[in-house]
Amino acid sequence: MYKEVSNLVELLEVRASQTPQNRAYTFLLDWESLEKPVTYQELANRAKAIASKLQSLNFKGQRAILVYGNEQEFVEGFFAALYAGVIPVPVYPPMKESAINNILSIMTVTETNLILTSSDTASKMKAFIPE
């Protein structure tokens, strides 16, 4: 029996402590093959590790743009933001150079100066940023 929770972080904490080896999600690589399932404990641990870094940088109460492609790191980054008290603002990664301007506009409107992304997506984004 699960205790009553009031937010997603509490829910993940309850699941990670009561059913740590149960599957939190399985990331689909395509419609036919599956990547290794991620347990509640694994998700909580990964999110807390990222959140720890965010907390050390004093981003609590601020917004973070989450720029992830079709990657399981999105879920980790989303929960990390919640753990750190950061407001996640998910956006699609840029597929062409003009999309960088969309992200910059969102950052301006939301008064955001933090981007969370994976190394793969960051590499793709760098191709669109003039030096």
- The pLDDT of residue 129: 67
- The pLDDT of residue 126: 76
> Strands, DSSP E only, in 1-131?
23-25, 38-39, 63-67, 87-91, 115-117
- The pLDDT of residue 50: 95
- The pLDDT of residue 123: 81
- The pLDDT of residue 9: 95
Residue type, 1: M
Low-confidence ranges of the chain (pLDDT < 50): none
